[in-house]
Amino acid sequence: MIFIVVKFKVKDEHAENFPELVREFTEATRAEPGNLWFDWSRSVEDPNEYVLVEAFKDDAAEAHVKSDHFKKAMQEQPQYLQETPRIISRQIDGEGWDQMGEMTVA
C-alpha cells in the first residue's frame, strides 16, 4: 500500500474551521476506489497544525492525484495555509493497521 502523512500549517483565521474547508475533498477521497483511509488529526501542541494520515492500495494512488477533486484541492487549499505542507509518502507492505506488539489491552 501507499502510506502518506502530510502536515498542514493553517493560517490563524482558518484553524478552527479547517476541517469544514476540506470536507468536500475529504469525502470525495474517502469514496475513491482503493482508498484505505483518509484521516485528519489536529496537533495537541500547535492548534494551527493538522496532520493527514492516508493510505491507498498500490494501484489507486495515481488515480487519486489525477482526480478532479485532488486538482481542485491543490488550487484552493494554499489560501488557507501558512506554508507548503510537509509530506512523507512510502510504499509499504500490508493492507491496514496492525496491532501494537509492545502493548496489550485486555
Residue 8: CB atoms within 10 A of its CB come to 23
Cα(98)–Cα(48) distance, rounded to whole angstroms?
A: 30
pLDDT digits (tens, 9 = 90+) for 42-70: 999 999 999 999 999 988 988 999 999 99
37-72: burial string, b at 16+ Cβ within 10 Å, e else: ebebebeeeeebbbebebbbeeebbeebeeeebbee
Separation in Å, CA 24 to CA 10, 64, 68, 73, 76: 17, 14, 12, 9, 12
Structure confidence by residue, pLDDT tens digits, 24-48: 999 999 999 999 999 999 999 999 9
- For the sheet with 2-9, list strands across it: 35-42, 49-56, 2-9, 86-91
Determine the pLDDT at residue 79: 98
The model carries a pTM of: 0.92
Q: Which three cell numbers stand for residue 70?
A: 485532488
